[in-house]
Structure 1
């Protein structure tokens, strides 16, 4: 099967961006870069392997699960079905945290999933160390592997625990990052079939999408060092409500926008 034939098959399977998905499959299944596949358009790839991938795609399984990995920041992250697929918009958490961390600072990454935020932060700021927390042990298996594969295992460790149960104990951190489930009840009804293949535990944030945001502030707000910052990803419609909730828990809130100009990260500091 050629690249062109693969794109046609993916399009027939319902892929909105079949060319991009073809590039992901060829890279993940055969180690062929997007540039190489474009140059050698007539190259033949194993039809049986691709047919199996296309069949999974027809069942609306995301290509990142099919190849078992995704790219985030400058790192590769291995995934299983317990992990939310890393998204480029979330990279704002990493770049802002890297900017805020002091020399030899400490960070915590809540709802860490595959570990992409904390690990990429540890790779970007090699002088800093931290801990990742997630309730799903299956996701943490990938996080530990990803830390090792990306050379960060000596600077980040992982805890299996419920963020609402204060898993950080008495430890203090200069920056706390978080990408909690924040999809609202109404939005869950409208999600694409591919997104619904991702773990509901990592998606659903309650009626208004901010249940886990509240739980995080209640349980982990005191884990900040004096002058520390919480950086939490939110839904693009949640900036105003997140600011109100933050105030209820004694935090000032500034909303940061992503590259598309959409509200993406709530930047929280303790109100003095």
Structure 2
């Protein structure tokens, strides 16, 4: 059966609803819009257009994949973050809007320091960089930042390099486990969205989460493993006035603050747009 655009939108939504996919209409529309190379809001203007056999084939294939809980972003191969478009695939964590709080907080602090006369270049290390969303966004919006992005996954770094080229920024990519690639240097900033999900919580996640790399989520039994590792080495990695900015889970503010305070750091927690703890500053 050959569908027109409106029939395709309705059919796709029905298929996804039958599999209990959240945001079924939105996802069906986005998939069809990508195939037709139009924005979602233009679909209704094209509603009577008949899909070609190839367009219909691809659409049905993509709906089948989404019905099996493959994330929409992996099918479309892209995700928006900080106003920039990033390529994503199964080798990297999908950037979330929550993580924009980290970049926005960092930019605000850096700009406040500029107003106080601190204009020199700053050395920034982004640990567990994944798709490179944090590192690339910082380099894009703050040209004076000399950014290094690290990850244990060579596949993730391939994606990050591709994104840096397509967005047009320079980032130094290094492969290795957590802080290993930045040892022996002193940094103005260490930034990270580390794995921070408790193992028990991870097992309760939506099916889509299990399509993403588990290593990007699991932070040990209590979700705090990577914060402890970083806090234990941070003094040897930072300049005297160096700072650390980290994403945290909404219920981890007190625990992460305590971890860094025990190492002699002062801390401050910043909320996301929903008012939940999201970012911790340690200095």
Q: Return the TM-score normalized by structure 1.
A: 0.91
Partner of 2:81: 72
Taking the TM superposition and a 5 Å limit, the aligned residue runs for 1:154-169 are 154=170, 156-164=171-179, 166-169=180-183
Distance 2:193 2:256 in 1: 13
Q: Which residue of 2 aligns with 1:49?
A: 58
Aligned to 2:221: 207
Residues 205 and 48 of structure 1, relative CA distance in 2, 3 Å threshold: same
What's the CA shift string for 1:10-64, capped at 9, x where partnerless? 2223221123323442454443212222543444442111111111112211111
Asked whether the equivalents of residues 29 and 67 of structure 1 are also in contact (C-alpha less than 8 Å), the reply is no
Unaligned runs of at least 5 residues, structure 2: none
- Structure 1 regions of 5+ residues with no counterpart? none
Residue of structure 1 equivalent to 2:105: 96
Which residue number corresponds to residue 188 of structure 2?
174
1:22 maps to which residue? 28
Q: For each residue in 1:135-156, what CA deviation from the matched residue of structure 2 results, as whole angstroms up to 9, or x when unmatched?
A: 011111000000000001x3x1
2:155 alignment partner in structure 1: 138
C-alpha change, 1:55 and 1:77, in structure 2 (3 Å) is same
Shift of 1:174: 2.0
**Cα distance between partner residues in 2 of 1:44 and 1:220:** 60
Structure 1 SS opposite 2:282: strand
- What whole-Å deviation, never above 9, does each CA across 1:131-178 have from its counterpart, x for those lacking one? 0011011111000000000001x3x111011015x3202222222210
Tell me the residue number matched to 1:239: 253
Stretch of structure 1 that moved more, 108-117 or 246-255: 246-255
Show CA shifts across 1:167-220 (max 9, x none).
202222222210001110220121111011111100100011010111122234
Q: Do the aligned partners of residues 223 and 49 (structure 1) sit closer, same or farther apart at CA in structure 2, a change above 3 Å counting? A: same
Q: How many residues matched? A: 266
Is this contact kept in 1: 2:28–2:63, CA < 8 A?
Answer: no
8 Å CA contact 1:140, 1:160 repeated in 2: yes
Which runs of 4 or more aligned residues in structure 1 lie more than 6 Å from their structure 2 counterparts after TM superposition?
none
User: Contact 1:3–1:42 at 8 Å: present in 2 too?
Assistant: no
Higher alpha-carbon Rg:
2
**Separation (CA, whole Å) in 2 of partners of 1:85 and 1:114:** 8
Superposed displacement of residue 234, structure 1: 0.8
- Please, which of 270, 273, 281 is the counterpart of residue 259 of structure 1? 273
The answer for the alignment partner of 1:223 in structure 2 is 237
TM-score (norm 2): 0.88
RMSD: 1.8
- Secondary structure in 1 aligned to 2:181? coil
